[in-house]
Structure 1
Amino acid sequence: MSEKSDIIASIIDALTDPVLFVNTRRDISFANTAAYKLFNGYPPAAATPEMRKLLSGGLESGLRNTAVIMGKEYTVTVAALETAGESLGAIVVLREMTDIRSLEAELKEARNSCRELDMIIKSSYDGIFVIDGSGIAIKYNESYCRITGLDAAEMMGLHMREIVKRKYFSETVGLKVLETRSVATTMPTLSSGKKVLITGSPVFDENGELIRIVANVRDITELISLKSQMEEAKELAERYYSEILHLRGQQSEVDGFIFESPKMKSILSTAVKVAHTNATVLITGDSGVGKEVLARIIHNNSEYKDGPFVKINCGAIPETLLESELFGYEKGAFTSAASTGKPGLFEVATQGTVFLDEIGEIPLALQAKLLGVLQDMKFTKVGGVKPIEMKSRVITATNRDLADMIGKGQFRKDLFYRLNVVPLPVPPLSDRRSDIFPLARHFLTKFNAKYNTNKTLSTQVIAAFEEYDWPGNVREMENLLEQLVVLAPTGQLTLDMLPEEKFAPRAKNHFSEGKRLGEILNDVERNLFRRLLDKGYSTYKIARELGISQPTVVRKINRLGLN
């Protein structure tokens, strides 16, 4: 018995909580090491009046209360000891409240986390099904039942093999995850006919043991149906997309064809006449003279004006792609061909106008096919056999000498004659100087509106413009005036703002050395006013054009001797 008592005493002494044995006289007859540490090595009974007060109370078994001992709050748990109906005293266990409160806080946080997790699972639109590490179903949400149409409650507690055996599913993702210990996906068809996508994700503990499998379920029946509808509409959408793609950037405002010269009046008159026919038009001229603007005027005055205007720069498309871009291709026509094929630009331009710019850049091999298309008004897609009727107007343009290219064997003579039914040669700006001032005024108005400015042109700038040869033609003038409007520090654009490399050499040649500035300016103004008067402008029209008053015009004309 003594040996057993020693063992019990050793066990009690090893406990981390203070433990006291109190006899029936309320004396402490035993205290473990933790109790002595609590009272700084003194016997508990003698150490503090709190213990004497605590022991004066009852020693009924199960009694639990709190007490402040040595400045700290403890819970006091009493366990009465009896033998043969006789009381031997009681064991008193003390536990610091700090530990208990910490445990209570942790327990509260764990409960809150569990509640939050349950709310998240419950509110998920996707179905969620949870399996434990051995393959037993343990949890689900309402979305799972809604999507699958199954009563998941019937599966709780069942192993995944049993679920398959009972034919809830033909296969379960849970078994795959159990086998592979990695993410797995299945797409079973339910008995209701629904198609679902189920993804199972393994959850491991800190020791790498599989403890949970979370299956996420999504209804993809509608997605599959939408995919089918999209495939059916893809060919039509491809055509619309191609049209948008090639017309993008071509939808900027067309300001019209600005002209005063007799040459341009004749060209425009011819363009309007031919617009009402279906004749093929070949527009020639240097870069920047306005070939595209003229082509748009023809389109806008034709029966095709409500259809698309599709511009194709034949020199900008690689030779290997040009044929498929023009005529389109069937699915599988070549290795990189789209699975649905693609409409060509001739097809995109149905009931509209095809503008083939830089026609001289088309390779000889393709020239023969283009000739056949223009003669028969039918074309065949690359890789296709069925001819498609062409229902669009064709206008071509080039800045190259096609007659010279024919002599060098670079362009087919028969194609040239087929394209050149109605030739429209647009002269460079240097050959129609009377158009320079109206164009400059037009672009100045355009960019003043664009940049919210009110810039004006000095008479010297106008004269310099009319003397300059404009190798870049109308496009060069447009770019220069936009630059001047943006960068000019004052309200009037003056001669010193013009690019020196372009205008200084001409000014040097034009003005005699030794002349004073006043004489030079008088020469410029005299030349300008003489040109305007030669055009038949009245003094009121000259005033409107130059932005000055009519009396000022009269005074200048008289001063310059231009009566």
Structure 2
Amino acid sequence: MESKTMNGKSGLKISVERAIIDHKLYEPLMRNCSDGLILSEKKSLKILTMNSKARALLDLEPEAKIEKVSDLLDTSAIGALMESKSVNTQANGLPIKMRSAVSGNYVWFFIEDFTDVARIESLSQKTLELNKELIGVFNEYGDETLMVTNGKGIIEFAGEKISRTCGVTSNYFAGKNVYKMEKEQIFAPSVTVRVLETKQPQVVIQTTRTGKELVAMGAPVLDEDGKIERVVSVTRDYSTQMNISKKIAALQEEGVSYENPQEEETDKVITCNDAMFEIKTLIKMVAATKATVLINGETGTGKEVIARYLYSLSDRKDRPFIKVNCGTISHSIVESELFGYEEGSFTGASKGGKIGLIEAANGGTLFLDEISELPLEQQVKLLHVLQEKMLIRVGGTTAIDLDIRIVAATNKDLEEQVALGNFREDLYYRLNVIPISIPALRNRKEDIPLLSKYFFKRFCAAYNKEMQISSSAVSTLEHYPWPGNIRQLENTIERLVLTTPKPMITANDLPKMFLENSSDTSVNVNKITRLDTAVEELEKELIKMAVEEYGTTVKAAEALGVNQSTVSRKMAQYHLKDSIEK
């Protein structure tokens, strides 16, 4: 009796379901539901109907005919849904979240708008990746040099060394605001303020109330919504090293020889520019870490020199340094060149396969120059390598573990490239852990004499030439804007060494474009001084320049429009003879 009752109920339920389907009683529910809905047969998965919301979420045209659920989803997703599990998947390339309800011979599929969920998860992943890298950097330093603030700049923690260098007690900073600390010149500029303003890692040279010069590096710690939750900064006192470097640069500029074989071997960054000193100091701070570095600068500014300098100071200096110019590899072979391939993976593949450039850098440093030129499809695979620390060769199935330090470089604004859709945003965040921006040569004019003499000395030795370059020639070079930056300067000096037929290179030996650019006869005045003193200094410089350029006092006097006796007398008065001969 009971069995008959149960069978009767079951039969009634089936009859009701059939009536609902046959008379389309579900249509009001389908129209008014905020989720996408698909109704299908359980056995065949034949779609009986779907609402407009489902079509919109699946990016289907209103007239598009989809017969089965299997036309939309893969087998694994369908299997999970049939077991009443929710599934995050893709349909027509779009991220969606699906649930199901099996009822008798029918299945209801519920589709949720997963766009915002996907965006949040993507941003969350980027945040975790960035924070993971930052932790790796800051773990290299003790907590005595750390400062932590909240997202509004309120100091939550400051190490004891920071307190000492700022001349305050150990508990002074707790609860204070970095904006106020900067205004009161306890430390200025504040790297935390710069991070809060830009939402990017920053590096500054700051001066404390006690007069100490510190290099401060700060970075944001983001929450799941991509907002700054905290700012963590670390400081290093490099005042002694910076003072020594500046004195050496000043001596070199004055013509005093200073040679340190060990430094010459590793330090090819020739500079006396403050911005470049900041870069060199930052490199010394992060060289021993595995943090990814992104170098930005115009063509010819020396991005590879900076990358090699970083490599030379790292604990990987005895391991491979592999340079990959992403702009020179043909798009058709970039995947096999970067990731390698297995034998027989494509027509023309070498017997035994080939390791890729990324794998060749294992244990060492991979320098990705012109990273902005990497095709989008390869950017995805590079991101996977960075995240998983492993790769699979083209045509292979075995994962190869990697231990590499990534240094990338570009002459383009990657944020702009991201906005244009030419560069993946997630890869940009993955690379932009330690950003380094190299100034153009026109913005570091004080380096032009140093670099000119460095290249001149190098090329004279390379071509076995005994030559000199006059102060007037160097001065003319200094006033040129250098659109091609250091590379153009280097090429110019090499050309002068090779083509000048006399032992002294003067301003007249320079190409015409340099002379046209130096036609301005104005005198630079940097500070107010006594007029008689200024006249003496100007006379001294003009006479010295003329004698160096023309070789004799007679020709120098002719160029200056005075008598030869005047030039000789002034040289004796200003003690110029010894300095010119020297």
Q: When the two structures are superposed, what TM-score results if normalisation uses the length of structure 1?
A: 0.47
Q: When the two structures are superposed, what TM-score results if normalisation uses the length of structure 2?
A: 0.45
Greater CA radius of gyration, 1 or 2?
1
